[in-house]
């Protein structure tokens, strides 16, 4: 297969920030054997739709690989950074070489680039994004602000996506499988795990819209309880927790005891702790 006559540069703002487009060394597009390409260990996508892959393979069989993949060179070949679907589809189409751009990238940048490419192509579901952002925080010690800069999104967007990891595992699986949308999942945040499971089942079985789901959650929270104590420990606590979460931008749990109670504020990095400390103290040490 001959290389495309024109180099594709539409990588988007996020990828462009991560991959310099004018570099004197290693900037040329080259053809490399697919057999020498190893998969990206930081690939955030967990699911690949076979039919979509087959459609891409059919297109590649007719037109070739129009956008080069991104790889980093290793001792015994290349490691894929971005373009997993193109490589797999090229194999399905019977190609043995693909066009590639070679860059030397740190591990954290390899994950960030993979996230950006998949997000821009709408190839990641919300849970895959959330797990990828959490990996950048836990394994590479990036702050939410640094992640936002690298992937070209606002910090509150990153924080809201990370909050999906607070959902009951069965609900997370439903989001990952595409059974419920991210908007449905957000509406369930702040409710008890058992309630989340019931509401998720209702969304699927009744075909509820996001707005209908939000209204159902609101009615459940506002539903009168049999006693004043029940009203206090159910609806009021849920609303207080939600208001605190919105104000602080992180998970907050409120638990009442017979006398008093406790408020638990969670944080996921030193930078996040510093931000919460400043917010709670008004910036005074």
**Is residue 84 annotated as a catalytic residue, yes or no?**
yes
Please tell me the distance from the alpha carbon of residue 58 to that of residue 72, in angstroms, as a whole number. 27
- Which H/E stretch holds residue 263? strand 261-265
Cβ atoms of residues 8 and 67 within 8 Å:
yes
CA distances from 118 to 59, 126, 132, 200 (A): 19, 11, 11, 26
The CA R_g of the chain, rounded to the nearest whole Å, is 23
Q: What is the dihedral of CA 238, 242, 243, 246, to 10 degrees?
A: 170
**Which candidate in 84, 146, 241, 272 is catalytic?**
84
Left, alpha or beta for 198 (phi > 0: left; psi -120 to 50: alpha)?
alpha
Please tell me the distance from the alpha carbon of residue 179 to that of residue 14, in angstroms, as a whole number. 29
The single residue listed with the structure tokens 């739709």 is 49
Cβ atoms of residues 215 and 186 within 8 Å:
no
Q: Which of 173, 175, 194 is nearest to 184 (CA)?
A: 175
Please tell me the distance from the alpha carbon of residue 126 to that of residue 132, in angstroms, as a whole number. 10
Half-sphere exposure of 99 (CA within 13 A, CB side): 18
Dig out the tokens for 276 from the structure. 């919460």
Catalytic residues: 84
């Amino acid at each position: 297969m001959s290389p495309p006559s024109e180099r594709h540069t539409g990588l988007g703002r996020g990828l462009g920030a991560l991959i310099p487009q004018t570099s004197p060394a290693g900037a040329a597009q080259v053809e490399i054997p697919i057999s020498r390409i190893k998969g990206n260990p930081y690939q955030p996508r967990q699911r690949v739709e076979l039919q979509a892959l087959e459609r891409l393979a059919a297109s590649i069989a007719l037109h070739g690989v129009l956008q080069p993949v991104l790889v980093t060179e290793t001792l015994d070949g290349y490691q894929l950074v971005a373009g997993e679907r193109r490589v797999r589809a090229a194999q399905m189409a019977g190609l043995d070489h693909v066009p590639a751009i070679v860059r030397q990238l740190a591990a954290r940048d390899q994950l960030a680039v993979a996230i950006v490419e998949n997000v821009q192509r709408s190839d990641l579901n919300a849970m895959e994004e959330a797990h990828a952002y959490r990996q950048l925080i836990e394994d590479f010690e990036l702050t939410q602000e640094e992640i936002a800069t690298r992937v070209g999104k606002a910090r509150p967007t990153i924080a809201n996506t990370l909050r999906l990891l607070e959902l009951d595992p069965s609900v997370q699986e439903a989001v990952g499988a595409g059974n419920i949308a991210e908007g449905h999942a957000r509406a369930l945040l702040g409710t008890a795990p058992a309630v989340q499971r019931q509401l998720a089942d209702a969304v699927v079985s009744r075909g509820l819209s996001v707005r209908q789901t939000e209204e159902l959650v609101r009615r459940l929270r506002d539903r009168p309880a049999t006693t004043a104590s029940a009203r206090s420990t159910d609806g009021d606590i849920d609303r207080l927790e939600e208001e605190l979460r919105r104000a602080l931008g992180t998970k907050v749990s409120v638990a009442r005891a017979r006398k008093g109670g406790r408020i638990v504020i969670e944080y996921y990095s030193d930078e996040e702790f510093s931000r919460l400390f400043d917010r709670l103290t008004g910036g005074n040490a």
